[in-house]
A = this chain, B = another copy of it.
Amino acid sequence: SAWRSFTRWLGRLAGSSPARAALLIFALTIGLFTSLLMMPWATASGSAPDFHDALFVATSAVTVTGLTPVNTAEHWSLAGEIVILVGIQVGGLGIITIAALLAISVTRHLGLRTRLVAQEGISTGKLGETGSLIKIVVIFSAVVELALALVLVPRLIALEGDVATGFWHGIFYSVSAFNNAGFVIHPEGLADVGHDPIVLWTLMAGVFLGSLGFPVLLLLWRHRWHFRRWSLHTRLTVEVTVLLMVVGAVLYAVLEWNHVDTLGQMTTGEKLQNSLFASVMMRSGGFSVVDNVIEHSETMLVTNALMFAGGGSASTAGGIKVTTIAVIFLAFLAEARGHEESTAHGRTIPTQAVRVAVSVVAMGATFVLISTLALIIITGEDLERPLFESISAFATCGLTTGLTEELSPSGLYVLTGLMFAGRVGIMTFAAALTIRHSRTRYRYPEARPIIG
């Protein structure tokens, strides 16, 4: 049948060009969810939504971004919200699975000498079969989301005073948090329940776990706190994640401590709690208790930097990824110390990894620059809000200055493309670069341009 020959073709494509197959799968998934959201039953009003809104929200859900031009609670029916939730879950599982599959094909390509994924627990021997990998990812996600829901559902039932609403909201926020999606279904955003510490800490825990990435989670599950068994990837991911989280929280607290619109009127405990919450969310959670546009410009700049950094590889967090930053910083450190090789924790980082990392950052910066330029031209705004919104879309973070809600269709298409590029582009690009690597048969003489 047509379906069977399509899947066979897709299988061949996945074998010959996993990166291109991943791009295609994501595009098709987004197409599917766009057409579901275009149904009249998906909206609260009962009439079909605008195509650019449906495409934007479907892309935002599948790429687990959380930006939206319409108010999720008011614009969509319950059925529409379920479509979005399924989109987030499918997108999140798809991202983790495909990233892990890409990592495996990278490992296979590189051979045993530079083992990549084997160390992470996703050894090709045990989990090489796509089916069993997907099974583990699904079970893992389900267990974590269930654990989150066990806290959130009773708490939200108590807060909202209604069993059905609390149950539905609890499920939605559990999925949204672990998948780093940042979608909210309270009309006024998280502000409605954001004063509750249990809700805040549960969301933080879900987002934090989700942002580490599947390879790290699997390894942590197996080896727990036996640090010596942690792989280099796990160590770097945890180290940079914790470092950025602390730096973000401290800067947020310092910059907003006395700002009446944000932290100013809270108790010291609440100030610290909300600073940590803001910091965790900047790196791709995308939930916010406070409107970002109310924050000081300096806070938005710090947020820009942390959004661009993002979370762990093969996770539902976006950005250029913490290991990319680690690799670049280690290269810098090696240079500053005059060492020929980048090393960390008794391991040498291959030179090619530095080039891939630089390529990823250069690509990301270029995307953000072009999108910001386009949004400034389209909206007539000055730099601040278009830059923030572009980085948020690229890094699939979902924090917003409110600009997305005001955008014309052309502006929405720019951000839609950026969410897709930031999510699927960066992931497949890095894998494709690493895989395509071939030995050259001849060498040119060296020449060294003057730098700096």
Contacts and interface: CB of A to CB of B under 8 A. Distances in A.
Interface in A81-136: 99, 103, 110, 113-117, 119-120
A373 B113 CA distance: 44
Output the residue of A297, A426, A443 with the most chain B CB within 10 A: A297
A327 B438 contact: no
Q: Interface SS of chain A: helix, strand, loop or mixed?
A: helix
Contact of A323 (B115, B232, B438, B450): B450
A103 B451 contact: no
A448 B350 contact: yes
B450 A372 contact: no
A146 interface: no
| Number of copies of this protein chain within its complex | 2
Contacts of A434: 451
B451 A353 contact: yes
Interface string A314-354: 10000011011011110110111111111100111111111
Nearest to A99: B450
A341 B373 contact: no
Among the interface residues A314, A351, A426, which one has the most CB atoms of the partner chain B within 10 A? Answer: A351
A215 interface: yes
Contacts of A352: 335, 340
Identify the interface centre among A119, A346, A381, A384: most chain B CB within 10 Å of its CB. A384
Most buried by B among A255, A314, A353: A353
A305 interface: yes
A186 to B, nearest CB: 29
Contacts of A353: 448-449, 451
A355 interface: yes
A362 interface: yes
Contact of A430 (B301, B332, B383, B451): B451
Contacts of A99: 450
Contacts of A326: 449
Contacts of A116: 448, 450
The 4 closest A-B pairs by CB, nearest first: A430-B452, A338-B436, A347-B447, A313-B450
28 contacts: A113-B446, A114-B447, A233-B447, A233-B449, A300-B383, A313-B450, A313-B452, A314-B450, A321-B452, A323-B449, A324-B451, A327-B449, A328-B362, A335-B437, A336-B359, A340-B439, A341-B440, A341-B443, A346-B444, A347-B445, A349-B447, A349-B448, A356-B452, A358-B358, A382-B382, A382-B384, A384-B384, A431-B452
